[in-house]
Structure 1
Amino acid sequence: MFSLFDITAKRASLDGDKVAMDEPGSGRSVTYSALDQNAAKTASFLAAQGINPGDRVAVLCQNSIAFFETLFACGKLGAVLVPLNWRMPANELRTLTADCTPGLLLFDEAFRETATALGVAKSAPLVSDAADDLVALRESFEPHKGRLSWPADDVWYLLYTSGTTGVPKAVVQTYGMALVNYINLGQAINLTSEDRTLNFLPLFHTAGINLYTLPTLIAGGTVTVLPAFDEEVVIDLLAAGDLDTFFGVPAVYQLLSLHPRFGEVDLTKVRNWGCGGAPLSDALVTLYQDRGIVVCNGYGMTETGPTVFLMDPAHVKEKIGSVGKAQIMTAVRIVDESGTDVPEGDVGEMWLKGPGLTPGYWNKPEATATAFTEDGWLRTGDLAQADEDGFFYIVGRAKEMFISGGENVYPAEVENILCDHPAVLEVAVVGKQDEKWGEVGVAFTMLREGAGQMSQDTLRAYCRENMAAYKIPKEFVFVGDFPRTAAGKIQKHLLKP
C-alpha cells in the first residue's frame, strides 16, 4: 500500500508564502508555511494531552481555520479526528462519544455547556475569545516532528452519517480516500493552485471537509472559511468575484435564488458550480441556467470519499437531471435484486467499487459486511439508471421506493415534477399503506412565499397532466418547512403520513 507525504509540509515547501486559508469574520489568514507550523504545534499540544497514534480527538465546533490545523495535526501525529454534530443535544452526542471513546474533546466556546455535559475526561477550547484556547496554548509548544509519510489505509478521521434513516454510524476516512477524492474531483473541475473556493458546509459532514476544501488545499489553492452558511456574506463574495469554484447542497442554491440580490449580482465569475447531497430539481437547474450559470449535479456518499459522479458543464442542458459519468477512480454497476447487471436504461441498485471507498464502519463489522459484497462492491442503496450515452441518473433510495397497484413509484421522480409547479418550493414524497393499492404516495409540500392559497385538487390536477396516474400522490400535506440534517437533506423518516 502506498503512502502520502505530509500534506501541509509538502505544500509549505512548494509555495510557503501563498495564502492557504482566510476567515473574513475573524480577519485571520494563514499562509501554507503558517498552516504547517500551526498544525505541527497543535500536534505537540495533542501529544502533551496524552494523545497517541490511533487515539481519537473529538471536535465540537463550527467552521474555522483551527479545525483544519487540528485535522492536519492529527495526520502528523497519527491520531484520529472525530468531528461532532454541534446541532445534536448532549444526550444524542453521548451515543457517539461512547462509540468512538475520544481521549480529548476540543470545542468552540459557544458549545462549552454541551461539551461539559458529554463528560469526556480531557477537554479544551478550540477557538474562543479567551487566552486559554488551543490557538493560544499551542504557541508554547515546539513544532512536532511528525510522520513524514501517512499510509494510505490508515484512519485519518471518522464521520458519523447524518442519520436520515436511523442511528448514525461512523464511516472510516483514510488518507488514501482523501487522495482519490482529490483526483476524482480535481480532474473533473480542472482544479489548480490558482483556484479560490468557499468553505461553509458543516465539518461533521464529508462535504464540509472534501467539497472543495481539502482538494483545494492539496492543489495549493486558497480557501475562504465561514463559520456557517450566510447568504448575505456569500452573495457579497460572489459579487466581488472572489471565488473560482463553489459547492453547495440544493438548499443552499434554493436560498441564494430567493435572495433579493440574486437577479442583480454577476455570478458568472465563478468557473465551476457543483451540487450534491440531494437531487437538484430541474426547475432550479433551469433557473440558474437563465442567469448564465451552469450548476453541475454530482453524486457521492460519505462512504465514497465522497466524489463519484460530477456532471460536466457541456452536457448539463442536454442531460438535465443527470449526475454525469463516473469519475476516473470509480467503477459502477447497476444491478437487480440478485446482483445481476440490468439492461441499459433499466432501474436498479447502484454498486460502486474503487480505491476511494471506505474500508468500513468504526466498531461495526456486521454493518460493514452488509454494506459490501464479498468481492468489494459497495451496495449504495440508491436506485439509478444509465442512458445510451453512459450518463447516470439517480432515481431515489431503494428503501423509499414503493409499489402502488403493482407499479414501482420512485419518489424523486414525482418530487422533481411537482417542483416544476410555479407555486411549489420543495416536496418530499413518502409511501404509506393503502387497502386498495397496497401503497400510495403522500406529498409533503412547501409552497413559495407569496404563492397564496393552494388546494390538493389543484396540485392533483397538475399531476394528472404531467405524470402517470399511479404516480400521483393520493394526499398532499402542506408544511412550513421540513425536518432536515445539517447538510440540508430532508429527514423523510420523520415525516408521518
Structure 2
Amino acid sequence: MNMFDLAGHRARVTPNRPALEDLASGIAYTYQQLNEQAARFAAAALGQWGLQEGDRVAFLGHSRAEFFAMLFGCAKAGLILVPLNWRLAQPELEQLMEDCTPDALIFGEEFTDSARKLRASGHTRVLVDLDGKAGDCRHYDTDLADTTPDLAPHPDRDPDTPWYLLYTSGTTGRPKGVIQTFRMMMSNYLNIGLAVDLTGQDTLLNVLPLFHTAGINLYSSAVFLAGGTVLVARAFDPDQAMDVLETRATIFFGVPAVYQAILEHPSFSGERLRNVRSWGCGGAPLALPVARQFVEEGIRVRTGMGMTETGPTVFLLDEADVLDKIGSVGRPQLLTEIRIVGTDGQDVAPGESGELLIRGPNVTPGYWNRPDATREAIEPDGWLHSGDVARCDEDGCYYIVDRWKDMFISGGENVYPAEVERVLVEHPAVSEVAVVGVADEKWGEVGKAFLCLKPDSEEPQPEDLSAWCRERLAGYKVPKHFRVVDELPRNALGKVTKQALRQD
C-alpha cells in the first residue's frame, strides 16, 4: 500500500464531521477544515518558507490543534516534522537540532527566547511564530492565510518514506531520532483501532505530549483515520479531565500517574465517568491497588505496551483479564510478531524470561542518520531488539519483567527492580516506589528503594519494609536501602527516570 493523502481522503468521506478541538484556544476543525489547513501549511512551507521535499520542520510548543495540521501538511509537502521535547534544556535542544538539521522551526509564544537562540546559533534558518507575537519571525496564521491551497490529493509515496521523527529520551546516551512512517501509522491504526473498536462516533481526550508517540498515536491518529473527534488538552489537568471525561469523551488513554491523579480527584466516581467506554494505560502496568479501585467503580483499565520504534502498539490486555492478569500487558495485536530469546539468541522455553523481540509492519525502518544504531537494534530479518525482559504465561499473556538496563546482579543473582516494586507498592503506607541497583562492597550491587507515602500515612521503619519484602521475595531481592521522598523524578510521559535516582 502506497502512502496516500490521509487528510484529503477523510475530508472527502466525512467533510463536515468534527475532527479536532483545542481545549485551551477553542480552535476547532471539521475534517474539511483540517485538510484545508494542512494544504495551506504545505503551500506556506514550500512557498514563503522556502523548504523543499525531504527537509525537516521542527516544532517547539505545547500540545495544540495546529500540530495535526502541521503533521498532515508535512505529508502533503513531503516534509519531515520533528516535534521537540519542550522540557529539554537549551543545550539538549541544540543537540537534537544538530542531529535533524531543520530548515524551519515553528514555535509557541512561550518558547520565543529559546527559538531565537537556536536561530542565532545557526541551528535553523526560518523561525515561524505560531502566536504572531514575535516581530522578527514569520507569522504562522498570516503565512497560511496568504496561500492558495492545493486541495488535490498529494502523490502516492513509498509507505516507508520518513514522515516525522520522534527522539528517544537519551537517558542511556545520545538521543536517537526514530523514523516514523505511513506504514507504521496505518499498522498502529489496525493494531489499536480493532482492539478497542474505534469508530467515527468516538471522541478522545488527549492529555499526553505531542513530542511522544503516545500523544500522536494513542489514540489520536487512529481516531482521525476512523473519522472520530480528538480533544487536545495543553497538558493533563485533573479538573479539566474529569469534566471532559464526564461529558464528552468516549475513549481515554493515560499513564499510571494520570490514573492515580484521577483516582485521587475529590469528585472521582465511576458513575460520573460512565460516558467513557474504553480506558487504556501504557508506560507501565497499573499497580494492583489502583486497578482494583477502578474495577470497584466499574472501570476496567486495559494495560498495553509499545515503543516509539513500534508505532507504538504491540500488546493490549483484554478487559476481562484486568484483575486476573494484573501486571500483564496482554497479547500481541494483529500486525505484530513476538519472540522471547535468551542471551544466546535462541527462543527460551515457555514461561522463562528473556529479551523481547518484535517484528511487523509497525516497526520503524531505523534511526535518523544512525545506521550503526539501526544495525544494533534491528536484525537483517526485521526483528527489533526491544531491550525489555519479558515472559509469556500459559494463556499467551505477556509480562514485561523489566528493562535489561535496569536489572542488576546481587551476589551473582539477577534482580529485576520491577518485581521488587510490585511487592513494595502493596505495602499499606506506600503509594509509589522505584528501585535501582547501587554499588555494594560485599554483594557487588544491592537494591535501593525510593518510596512515596500515601497521605496521612506514618513513615514505616526500614526494618519493617525489609520484613515486608522478605515475606514475599527471595532474600537477595530485598533492598538494602530505603529512602522516603516527596516525589519521584519523571519524564514528560510520567515515566520514572531511574538514571536520576542512581545519581542521588
- TM-score of the alignment, normalized to the shorter chain, above 0.5: yes
1:331 is matched with: 337
Q: CA offsets per residue over residues 452-494 of structure 1, 9 Å max, x none?
A: 3332122112212222222110101111112211111111111
Matches within 5 A, 1:29-428: 29-48=28-47, 49-119=49-119, 120-128=124-132, 133-144=139-150, 145=152, 147-240=154-247, 242-263=248-269, 266-428=272-434
Task: Percent identity, please.
Answer: 49
Post-superposition offset of 1:134: 1.3
CA contact (8 A) 2:270 2:294 kept: no
Matching of residue 6 in structure 1 with residue 28 in structure 2: no
Q: In structure 2, what is the Cα distance between the partners aligned to 1:124 and 1:440?
A: 51
* Residue aligned with 2:273, SS: coil
Residue in structure 2 matching 1:439, options 435, 440, 445: 445
Q: By how many angstroms is 1:81 displaced?
A: 0.1
Deviations along 1:98-154, one digit per CA (max 9) or x if unpaired, are: 110001000001110111111222111123568974134301101135523242110
Shift of 1:315: 1.7
Offset of 1:285 from its aligned partner?
Answer: 1.3
Cα distance between partner residues in 2 of 1:128 and 1:16: 29
The 5-angstrom pairing of residues 457-476 of structure 1 reads 457-476=463-482
> After superposition, what is the alpha-carbon deviation per residue over 1:363-421, rounded to whole angstroms, capped at 9, x for unaligned?
11111111112322111110000001110000000111122233221111111111111
* Cα separation, 2, equivalents of 1:160 and 1:108: 19
Q: CA deviation at 1:264?
A: 7.2
Deviates more, 1:431-440 or 1:415-424: 431-440
Report the Cα distance in structure 2 between the residues aligned to 1:344 and 1:329, rounded to whole angstroms: 22
In 2, Cα distance between equivalents of 1:127 and 1:149: 33
Range 70-79 or range 150-159, more displaced = 150-159
Q: Deviations over 1:412-432 (max 9, x none)?
A: 111111111121111111112
- Compute the displacement of 1:168 (Å): 1.4
CA distance in 2, matches of 1:411, 1:106: 40
Q: Please state whether the residue corresponding to 1:190 is helix, strand or coil.
A: coil
Report if the CA contact (8 A) 1:89-1:114 is conserved. no
Q: Deviations over 1:244-300 (max 9, x none)?
A: 110001111111112111247622321111111223222221121121110111000
Question: Does the Cα contact within 8 Å between 2:357 and 2:384 map onto a contact in 1?
Answer: yes
Residues 229/133 of structure 1: CA separation in 2 closer, same or farther (3 Å cut): farther
Comparing 227-236 with 164-173, greater Cα deviation is found at: 164-173
Cα displacement string for residues 49-85 of structure 1 (whole angstroms, at most 9, x for unaligned residues) = 1111110000001111111001100000000000001
What residue identity is the alignment partner of 2:99? D
Secondary structure of the equivalent of 1:94? helix
C-alpha distance in structure 2 between counterparts of 1:364 and 1:24, whole Å: 38
Contact 1:74 1:80 in 2 (8 A): yes
Consecutive unaligned residues of structure 1, counting only runs of 5 or more, are: none
- The aligned amino acid for 1:47 is L
Distance 1:265 1:188 in 2: 24
CA distance in 1, matches of 2:153, 2:299: 44
Deviation string 1:211-261 (CA, Å, 9 cap, x unpaired) is: 010000011000011111111100111222x11110001111111112111
Distance 1:249 1:165 in 2: 22
CA RMSD of aligned residues (A): 1.5
Please give the alpha-carbon distance, in whole angstroms, between the structure 1 residues aligned to 2:407 and 2:132. 46
AA at the equivalent of 1:125: D
AA paired with 1:332?
I
**Alpha-carbon offset, residue 169 of structure 1:** 0.7
Which amino acid letter does the alignment assign opposite residue 347 of structure 1?
S
Q: Distance in 2 between matches of 1:246 and 1:406?
A: 43
**Retained in 2: the 8 A contact 1:75–1:150?**
no
CA distance in 1, matches of 2:469, 2:274: 35
Looking at structure 2, the residues matched to 14 and 146 of structure 1 have their Cα atoms a distance apart, in angstroms, of: 13
> In structure 2, what is the Cα distance between the partners aligned to 1:130 and 1:314?
53
Q: Would you say the 8 A contact 2:167–2:178 is kept in 1? A: yes
How big is the shift at 1:435? 2.6
Letter in 1 for 2:36: Q
Deviation of the 1:349 alpha carbon: 0.5
Give SS of 2:471's match.
Answer: helix
The answer to whether the 8 A contact 1:173-1:305 is kept is: yes
Partner SS, residue 92 of structure 2: helix
CA distance in 1, matches of 2:422, 2:51: 49
SS at match of 2:414: strand
Decide whether aligned partners of structure 1 residues 158 and 33 sit closer, same or farther in structure 2, where only a CA change above 3 A counts: same
How far residue 91 of structure 1 moved from its aligned partner, in angstroms, is: 1.5
